[in-house]
Structure 1
Amino acid sequence: SKQALVKRVEALTKDWPKSSEPLPVPVPVEKRFSAGQTLIPKSADQATLILGHFGDKRFNPDKFALMLLNDILGGEALVSRLGKRVRSTLGLAYGIYSRFGLETDYGVFFIMAQTQAKNAKRVLAESRRILEEIRRPGSVTQAELDFYKQSLLNSLYSEYEPRYNFAKDEARFAYYGYPPNYLELFRQNIEKVTLADIQRVAEQYLKPEFLQVLVVGDPKEVGPIPGARVVPITQ
């Protein structure tokens, strides 16, 4: 039971030193978008690319639509837009995926890819194109949305088959202030997401014009990136 667990934790930690010092309060993140490009030189055949901007907060009511949008874009590995086009069809990347961060303060939305340095600019260009494309009206189909809804909900069964995972996430949900029946609410809210919701959040939250781009690779292989800051790593 919860009471037994609390007593056990209290017994194990009773000798820990206590402090009256208040925990420091983090400075709130100011959500300001700006575009930029940075190149970190590294002598290697491969390059790592990250492009992104601000995500949003944990309790944003658009959270469930954003999760599905991200799965469609790049969260589902080989079957996502990024995975199918950049990795499978064009063969330009060893791996590519996206994540839309929803944290206590503003998270980060990003696309990450690993590729041959000589292909870095092609991967960047294709990633931008796919990001712009998914924002266009009619880009995401109902069949596509239904597939990713089912995929996400099915993943919960395997995720929570080990009881440890269920107990761990229940503790995490409680820590962050989610309601006790969050998993059921999660399922209901995923099922409620409509195609109009996906279109709206894609237009509202994805901002290709404000991408911060980071490339780690050999400048001679990558080639010139107009306007990029070059930041050598000396350590």
Structure 2
Amino acid sequence: MTGAATPRRAGLSRSLLSLAAATLMTIALAPASLAQSETTRIQRVISPGGIEAWLVHDTTLPLVAMEIAFLGGAAQDPTEKPGVASLTSSLLDEGAGDLDSRAFQDRMAEKAIELRFDASRDSLGGSLRTLSENVDDAFALMALAVNAPRFDDEAVERIRQGQLAQLRRRLNDPSSLASLGWSAAAFPGHPYGRPVAGTLESVPTISRDDLKAFVGRTLARDNLKIAVVGDITAEKLGPALDAMFGALPAKAQLTPVADVEPQGLGTDVVKTLDVPQTSIVFGGIGLKRDDPDFIPAFVLNHIFGGSAFSSRLFSEVREKRGLAYSVYSHLAPLDHTALILGGTATKNERAGESAELIRSEYQRLLTVGPSEEELEDAKSYLIGSFALRFDSSAKVASQLLQIQIDNLGIDYIDIRNQLVAQVTLDDVKRVAARLNEHPALLFSLVGKPEGLTQ
């Protein structure tokens, strides 16, 4: 998925589009033998030029999936121009080298290659899917995209207009507005407080020079992570890594980003919108991914709001009171902060009741802790469902990439369930006590909420 929902050139033949769709469906359904958690099959491939990738060689189907990430992301946007990373990511496959946008897109369609880029707060990522017989063509397109993006005027303006259209749609999307409002209130003056896709004011000011400068500063070898899964050997992948990424700068020129804690905890931020429901985003201080207590915190969050059917929020907000159809929470460890985030949507007249119930349930969990039964149920679910993260080659590549980004070690897949199984009631109560040092939550509500007490 690109950094913004953007229009692409028309004109690809229906047969080529059908071939591409069939190929991608096959990739999505490809079984991933890594789900058996045999990390001896994960190979650390080092190219002749020193570029590292993690590879799972799987010949089940003649497919190759690659995931890459350049660390930095939208946090590297110029202060006055949020949206640069997002616009850049949307344009990397819109013409590169000697191929303009139409030629680049046609080349992908002819070979049923999928190549996409997107931007998040902390990284700019890319996804490649191809039949193994077309892997050389796919790698050549990846090389062009990251080394020689064109940023032609026509493509820039077309993608810019798509990004602006997306931003206009968000003006009437309460869920998006609640999320943006939460970030702006939590991180004023910090890169995390700026919208990844930019604003209606900033996107029109982004120039071709801004895009080129972003690429020059952030796309480098030292901040690059790579995961590859499928019908390709380490012997072939090694030289291909150099061909794709060897010409990139050795070091990224990233602007330092300060560590930060969310502000406004214990308050409500309200944006009035004439809709029948209020969208709610809430969050507070969590634990970073490298914290020794992260796994117990992960289990504790599952008990709070991480399960669609057995969490306390599901039970109290939906089952007992019928306040909302869906309510959730998750840990969000970013590079420069650690959060617990969640959300729901409810009738305007019950928004205050819902927010107060979420606050009270969070406080009760942190103060009293979960029961032994809740802990065992959570552990059983988290262990049993882990394999679902590896039921396609694309998912395997995505998981391997995230493990690298989080610096968890190449054996993490083997030890992860053991780490969850070892969590004790004392562990989760210890984590609850730590979180209870800063228990207040910031709420962002969009709609016409009634009954707020903050």
Q: TM-score range by the shorter chain?
A: 0.7 to 0.9
Other-structure match for 2:392:
162
Residue 55 of structure 1, aligned match among 286, 297, 300: 286
Residue 241 of structure 2, aligned match among 9, 13, 18: 9
Contact 1:132 1:208 in 2 (8 A): no
Partner amino acid, structure 1, of 2:347: Q
Q: What are the residue-to-residue correspondences of 1:48-197 with 2, within 5 Å?
A: 48-137=279-368, 139-197=369-427
The structure-2 alpha-carbon separation of the partners of 1:49 and 1:207, relative to structure 1 and needing over 3 Å to count, comes to farther
Q: Aligned to 1:110, what secondary structure does the other structure show?
A: strand
The structure-2 alpha-carbon separation of the partners of 1:49 and 1:171, relative to structure 1 and needing over 3 Å to count, comes to closer
Other-structure match for 2:257:
26
> Mean alpha-carbon deviation: is it higher for 94-103 or for 20-29?
20-29
Residues 67-88 of structure 1 deviation map (CA, whole Å, 9 limit, x = unaligned) = 1000000010121100111112
Structure 2: how far apart are the matches of 1:88 and 1:9?
Answer: 51
Q: Which has the larger radius of gyration?
A: 2
Asked whether 1:225 is paired with 2:438, we answer no
Structure 2: how far apart are the matches of 1:158 and 1:209?
Answer: 32
Number of paired residues?
222
Q: Offset at 1:216? A: 0.7
TM-score (norm 2): 0.45
Percent identity, please: 23
Partner amino acid, structure 2, of 1:172: Q
Partner amino acid, structure 2, of 1:57: K
Q: Offset at 1:141? A: 1.6
The structure-2 alpha-carbon separation of the partners of 1:225 and 1:119, relative to structure 1 and needing over 3 Å to count, comes to closer
Structure 1: how far apart are the matches of 2:273 and 2:246?
Answer: 49
Contact 1:33 1:53 in 2 (8 A): no
Contact 1:78 1:88 in 2 (8 A): no
Q: Offset at 1:172? A: 2.6
The structure-2 alpha-carbon separation of the partners of 1:89 and 1:170, relative to structure 1 and needing over 3 Å to count, comes to same
Q: What are the residue-to-residue correspondences of 1:206-221 with 2, within 5 Å?
A: 206=436, 210-218=440-448
Partner amino acid, structure 1, of 2:411: N
> Mean alpha-carbon deviation: is it higher for 162-171 or for 39-48?
162-171
Indicate the RMSD between aligned Cα atoms, in angstroms: 2.4
Runs of 5+ unmatched residues, structure 2 = 1-42, 46-233
Q: Offset at 1:112? A: 0.9
Q: Offset at 1:178? A: 1.8
Asked whether 1:43 is paired with 2:274, we answer yes
Residues 108-146 of structure 1 deviation map (CA, whole Å, 9 limit, x = unaligned) = 212311111111011011111211221233x52212111
The structure-2 alpha-carbon separation of the partners of 1:31 and 1:87, relative to structure 1 and needing over 3 Å to count, comes to closer
Contact 2:351 2:451 in 1 (8 A): no
Which structure carries more relative contact order (alpha carbon 8 Å, separation 6+)?
1
The structure-2 alpha-carbon separation of the partners of 1:161 and 1:19, relative to structure 1 and needing over 3 Å to count, comes to closer
Contact 1:74 1:82 in 2 (8 A): yes
